[in-house]
Structure 1
Amino acid sequence: MRTTGSGRRAYIGSFTSAGGPGIVTAAVDPETGALTPLHATAEVADPSYLAPTPDGRHLYAVSETSEGAAAAFALTERGPVLLGAPVPVRGAAPTHLTLWAGHLFTANYTSGSVSALCVRADGTLAEPAAVLQHEGRGPNPDRQEGPHAHGVLPDPSGSRLLSVDLGTDSVRSCELDPASGAPVVRQEVRLRPGSGPRHLAFHPRGSHAYVVNELSSTVTPCRWDATTGTLAPLTETAILPPDAGENHPSELVVSPDGRFAWAANRGHDSISVLALDPSGESLSLVTTVPCGGHWPRDLALHPDGRHLYAANERSGDVTWFSVDTTTGVPEAGGSLAVAAASCVVFV
């Protein structure tokens, strides 16, 4: 879940190769959640995923191209200011990124690897300190012919980095080698063959993680032991009714109180509302609501927990919703046109 700072500004990533404006800065109305565009910068190609620093001073973006790069920005009132040229990540098509332990990590989909770039004191990026190459494949010949790293996220304790791989049906739990800066795999957890894990989100207590599976339209809840860095899969829950048709979920976020989770569905073009049991060990589908556009590539929860945002890539807009805190059901509020929208984060 990307919830950083006060949430007064939203930063929206997009695919410039599909006509997107690059990174859009928008003001956020604290009462309604409405977005008002302020600025756009297209200095980096295909900044599809973004990660702000906790202090709100810097923003990082992948450049999801075949060459693969990452870029650093200083955040100003006039919008993001690029800090030097994008840095090659030595991996193809980086789709996701996260900050951890003084490094920026990128999940490189096409090459099936994770790159670790040192973050300097001034916020700029150094060349990759290391690249962790995933190995393996899955049973789907079209999507799992090899590894496809799709998500990277530190656990809430900050002791481990988790790397989610769609191609190998697995999640890797990593530590950082202090000498080399390389992520070192300590555990690789296998999920159901063919499920295609894409991203994960943690319960606010830090005791459980929820893996959203792109190829099976399911969520796998897992116990998480931060002391040992062990992820233990439990049941697998469908996030759509059986007759929903072809679908590829993209993202899952969890409410700050741990009562609900929401998943974005590409194909069904909806948001699934899932109720979590008090233990955090199981989920149940409550309902689905239209996402307000087509092909929601990302789903983000505002830091206040009251507003939800879907970045609808193919319809070219970001829609926002007010969340009923009793039922968890989102109510549509409005939309902002952003061609080839792919990601929303808050500062």
Structure 2
Amino acid sequence: MKLTSTLCATLALAACSSPKQETQVSATPPIPVSYEFLVGTYTDSLHHGINFLSFSPSENIMTVETLAAGIANPSFVLASKDGKTVYALEEEAGAKGGKVLTFTRNPVDNSLTLIDQDDSMGDHPCHISLSPQEDFVILGNYSGGNLSVFKVSPDGQLDFTQLVQHSGKSVNPDRQEKPHVHSTTFDPEGKRVLVADLGTDKIYVYHFNPSTAEPLSLSGEFPMTPGDGPRHLAFSADGKEVFVVQEMTAVMEVFSYENGSLTSKQRLSLLDEGFTGNVGAAEIRVSPDGKQVYVSNRGDANTISVFGKNASGTYVHVQKIPSGGLMPRNFNLTPDGKYLLAAHQASNDIVIFERDEFTGKLIQTLWKADVHRPVYLHRLAD
């Protein structure tokens, strides 16, 4: 004790006689950043289904686990804002179409509990959208050529409300012989729903009124270039532009958007000059900071293209990079925009790219996960 007291006194005296010396405080180690995604897949056995992917760059950890097995082709999966409710599809055909499934999710262990199962009312449902107030779910039924609307009840059940059937066709007799609804997307105001129909080569705009018995009413139809096959779309950060991925021509088309009206401004090819082979443009995303637009292309291309906006207000090609696998049907960015994850249906894997936060360019990393036929990535905890 005597030695300890003497040492403390000496240290105290030294501190008092050295005014330039600062007390050192140990910094708390930063909490590792972890990104979480739900993964939709196509299934070939009862062991396949909805997966959960976790990725921690600083810890060099990437894990994938199956949360809900035995579901037939849950190709699209979507969670509520708090992550506690999950909606998924069974992309199947039947007397009343496929299925839409509702789960509760435990954020602690990520377990999913099925609480509701409803007919999709159209064959091969392929897309889900959730209204801004999370009180309505809209399905796009690809082979059915229609969209179905469900009201979310207070206990989380889905109640079928409305079916909207499209009609018509376009120039490709093999793929556009009838309507093929591929996506349903709410606009930033939540007042309208934009529906991309690959079969009729149109974007349909519906007014959304949740207080009426049938919430959707058609307000406009906007033809694409014949043979385009519009698939998915995304809004610019300010909501004044809509980016549409044209699946069959491998084009990103830029539209101005005002009061539910679309006007084409630009068409940018995803292909190199002289490219020959099959194409299948698939997903389109805007970076979280709103600076770049990303588009995937399947077929014989297997690329991700990056576009940015120049000072004149037009979009320019920034980069085209191999997607790191085969058939990049879907991809997504982390909420902070630092990474992009590409899901490959044909090579059965998910590949991670690092994103330059200034230029938007991508660099493929060594992180890669084996996943059976991944076709959709929904990020959690935005």
Provide TM-score, normalisation by structure 1: 0.92
Aligned residues: 338
CA distance in 2, matches of 1:99, 1:29: 28
The within-5 A match list for 1:1-347 is 8-17=35-44, 21-29=48-56, 31=58, 35-67=62-94, 68-76=98-106, 77-100=108-131, 102-126=135-159, 128-177=160-209, 178-225=211-258, 228-245=259-276, 246-267=278-299, 268-278=301-311, 282-333=314-365, 334-347=367-380
Question: Aligned-pair distance for 1:339?
Answer: 0.6
- Secondary structure of 2:37's aligned partner: strand
1:5-56 C-alpha deviation (Å, 9 max, x unpaired): x974211010113787211112231658963124431242111011111121
In our comparison, the structure showing a higher alpha carbon Rg is 2
CA distance in 2, matches of 1:19, 1:296: 24
Question: Aligned-pair distance for 1:73?
Answer: 1.2
Aligned in 2, Cα 1:220/1:19: closer, same or farther, shift over 3 Å?
Answer: farther
Aligned in 2, Cα 1:75/1:278: closer, same or farther, shift over 3 Å?
Answer: farther
Note the residue ranges of structure 1 that are not aligned, 5 or more in a row.
1-5
CA distance in 2, matches of 1:129, 1:32: 47
CA distance in 2, matches of 1:20, 1:161: 36
Question: Aligned-pair distance for 1:329?
Answer: 1.4
Question: Aligned-pair distance for 1:74?
Answer: 1.1
- Secondary structure of 2:266's aligned partner: coil
Match of 1:13, as an amino acid?
Answer: G
What stretches of structure 1 move > 6 A for 4+ residues in a row?
A: none
CA contact (8 A) 2:103 2:116 kept: no
1:319-338 C-alpha deviation (Å, 9 max, x unpaired): 11110122211111221111
- Secondary structure of 2:249's aligned partner: coil
Q: Identity percentage over the alignment?
A: 30
1:105-157 C-alpha deviation (Å, 9 max, x unpaired): 1110001111101112232322x211111122110111100110001111111
CA distance in 2, matches of 1:141, 1:322: 41
96-105 or 79-88: bigger deviation: 79-88
87-96 or 28-37: bigger deviation: 28-37
Higher RCO, Cα 8 Å, sep 6+? 1
CA distance in 1, matches of 2:59, 2:308: 24
CA distance in 2, matches of 1:339, 1:162: 31
81-90 or 96-105: bigger deviation: 81-90
CA distance in 2, matches of 1:116, 1:296: 29
CA contact (8 A) 2:49 2:66 kept: no
Aligned in 2, Cα 1:238/1:98: closer, same or farther, shift over 3 Å?
Answer: same
Note the residue ranges of structure 2 that are not aligned, 5 or more in a row.
1-32
Provide TM-score, normalisation by structure 2: 0.84
1:222-280 C-alpha deviation (Å, 9 max, x unpaired): 1111xx22122222111121233321010011113332111111121111111223575
- Secondary structure of 2:325's aligned partner: coil
Aligned in 2, Cα 1:37/1:159: closer, same or farther, shift over 3 Å?
Answer: same
CA distance in 2, matches of 1:242, 1:33: 39
Question: Aligned-pair distance for 1:299?
Answer: 1.5
CA contact (8 A) 1:57 1:75 kept: yes
After superposition, the CA RMSD in angstroms is 2.0
9-18 or 79-88: bigger deviation: 79-88
CA distance in 2, matches of 1:168, 1:44: 30
CA contact (8 A) 2:342 2:352 kept: yes
77-86 or 92-101: bigger deviation: 77-86
Match of 1:161, as an amino acid?
Answer: V
CA distance in 2, matches of 1:276, 1:284: 6
Match of 2:69, as an amino acid?
Answer: A
